[in-house]
């Protein structure tokens, strides 16, 4: 089915983001009102996930539609509490409402973040929704496990990235509708980089807080020393003001390195890849605008020679042979033969 043009409001996106961090809200009721998906009701955690489950049925009114976001007690190491997504359209609802809720649910999940929901279930009667459905969704599929085992690491990253939807704002990039803002310390060091107080700023993602944090800021002159200060196991963003000599002239180039070691956890690679442009956008706002952007997967590849070649590629000279038309067969060059009159 074609997706509608109906999306979550920014208030809903922010409210859901806060609920994921705080872990207090057990469930949200979402409705489509004036061509927007909004939160119209919610309740907090009281018992465990099984005891609280029956309360979501109070959200499901006859002949009306709604979405329900239900927070489970289980947690994902990367993304915190897991959630269930329910799409309900009561029996006897208007045809238009049925079509709207059916065509808008993917937009809703996309804006809130596919990765947070372990299941997506649909029903037309409140009694159809049982906690047994959650238990079934948690059971690992043997075929899925076999498929994952056969995937290469790059294929696994691509598979994960499908669920890391990014919605571009005018100033900042959003992941799952939640901004990854720079910390105050990081923004201060970016300013120091511009003023020349430091020449290298290393940035790390705080996945739990969904923010960009300062990893280190210092003055480093050589490529070898930069490599010694990089993490071998986890991705990082590095902004380095590189000074070097080229053709007996002193040169200065601000470089952005996306360092992504092959042995880093797949989900970290996925997140760093997705948030990269957010880091660059926010750095640019305070004057940090790299002239060159490079990706490094193996720190052994990051050498002075490689870096200079990336900045000033050596032009390969090619000897172009001109085609010479062969001489005609016979003696000497072609002669003009006058016809006899």
pLDDT tens digits for range 16-51? 989 998 899 999 999 999 889 999 999 999 999 999
pLDDT tens digits for range 304-331? 889 988 988 877 655 555 555 565 555 5
DSSP-derived pairing of the beta strands 166-168 and 200-206: unpaired
| Strongest mean pLDDT among 43-47, 110-114, 158-162, 298-302 | 43-47
Q: Is the per-residue pLDDT at 335 higher than 60?
A: no
Q: Is the per-residue pLDDT at 142 higher than 70?
A: no
Band (pLDDT 50/70/90 cuts) for residue 169 is: very low
Q: What's the rounded Cα separation, in Å, for the pair 218 and 238?
A: 11
Residue 170 is predicted with a pLDDT of 32
pLDDT tens digits for range 78-97? 678 899 999 999 988 888 88
**DSSP code string of 327-340:** PPSSSSS----PPP
Q: Output the CA torsion sign for 240, 305, 275, 280.
A: positive
Strands, DSSP E only, in the chain? 7-8, 25-33, 36-44, 65-76, 80-89, 117-123, 166-168, 173-175, 178-179, 200-206, 211-218, 236-246, 249-259, 292-296
Residue 228, both tokens: 């010694």
């Amino acid at each position: 089915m074609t997706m509608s043009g109906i999306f979550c409001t920014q208030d809903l996106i922010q409210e859901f983001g806060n609920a994921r961090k705080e872990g207090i809200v057990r469930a949200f009721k979402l409705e489509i009102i004036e061509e927007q998906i909004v939160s119209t009701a919610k309740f907090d955690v009281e018992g465990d996930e099984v005891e609280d489950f029956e309360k979501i049925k109070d959200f499901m009114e006859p002949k009306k539609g709604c979405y329900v976001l239900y927070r489970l007690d289980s947690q994902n190491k990367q993304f915190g509490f897991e959630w269930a997504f329910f799409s309900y359209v009561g029996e006897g609802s208007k045809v238009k409402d049925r079509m709207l809720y059916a065509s808008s649910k993917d937009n809703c999940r996309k804006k809130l973040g596919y990765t947070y929901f372990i299941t997506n279930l649909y029903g037309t009667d409140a009694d159809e929704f049982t906690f047994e459905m959650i238990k079934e969704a948690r059971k690992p599929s043997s075929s899925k496990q076999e498929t994952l085992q056969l995937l290469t690491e790059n294929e696994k990253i691509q598979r994960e990235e499908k669920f890391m939807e990014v919605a571009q704002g005018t100033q900042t990039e959003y992941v799952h509708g939640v901004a990854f803002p720079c910390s105050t310390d990081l923004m201060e060091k970016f300013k120091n980089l511009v003023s020349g107080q430091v020449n290298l700023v290393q940035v790390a993602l705080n996945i739990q807080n969904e923010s960009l944090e300062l990893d280190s800021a210092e003055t480093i002159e050589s490529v070898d020393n930069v490599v010694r200060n990089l993490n071998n196991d986890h991705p990082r963003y590095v902004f380095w003001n590189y000074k070097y000599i080229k053709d007996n002239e002193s040169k200065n180039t601000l470089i952005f390195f996306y360092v992504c070691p092959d042995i880093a956890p797949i989900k970290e690679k996925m997140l760093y890849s997705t948030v990269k442009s957010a880091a660059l956008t926010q750095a640019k706002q305070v004057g940090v605008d790299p002239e060159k952007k490079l990706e490094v997967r193996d720190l052994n590849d990051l050498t002075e020679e490689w870096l200079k070649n990336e900045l000033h590629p050596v032009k390969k000279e090619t000897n172009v042979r001109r085609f010479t038309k062969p001489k005609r067969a016979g003696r000497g060059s072609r002669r003009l033969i006058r016809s006899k009159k």
